[in-house]
Amino acid sequence: MDSDRRAAEEEANRPRVVLGFEHANKARWQLVNNGTATAMNVRITETFGAMHGTWPEGLSLAPGEVYDFMMSGSMQEAVPSVIRVVWDGQEEPVPLRVPPRAG
């Protein structure tokens, strides 16, 4: 049983990617890695018209790192409330909530 407990502790302490979106200001948003592992090759799984420019190929975020991007809604294309992302080792899309714009 000690080996089971040790394995559970190792799994609980394993470095993890924890991504989230934050609103910076106006049309500027941020993808933040709040985890303890580097997110390699972060990709958005769907396209939407509210994003300005293209998502970079091979985007990697170390723990605590931030990626700034532009996104603004219109009558035709609202800012999405959820954006699904994947990264190396996480091929099942993870839905990340997009917070409302602050002021």
pLDDT digits (tens, 9 = 90+) for 8-59: 787 777 899 999 999 999 999 999 999 999 999 999 999 888 999 889 999 9
In a domain, residue 102? The reply is no
In a domain, 44, yes or no: yes
Q: Is residue 58 part of a domain?
A: yes
Q: Is the pLDDT of residue 103 over 70?
A: no
Return the SS3 of 15. Answer: coil
Instruction: Residue 53: give the domain boundaries.
Output: 2-97
**Number of separate domains in the chain:** 1
Q: What is the CATH number of the domain that holds 85?
A: 2.60.40
Give domain status of residue 32, yes or no. Answer: yes
- pLDDT on residue 10: 79
At 28 the pLDDT is 95
82 Rama sector, left if φ>0, alpha if ψ -120 to 50, beta otherwise: beta
DSSP 56: P
* β-bridge partners, 97: 82
Q: What token pair was written down for 83?
A: 């954006």
pLDDT at 18: 97
> 42 in a domain, yes or no?
yes
The answer to whether residue 7 scores a pLDDT higher than 70 is yes
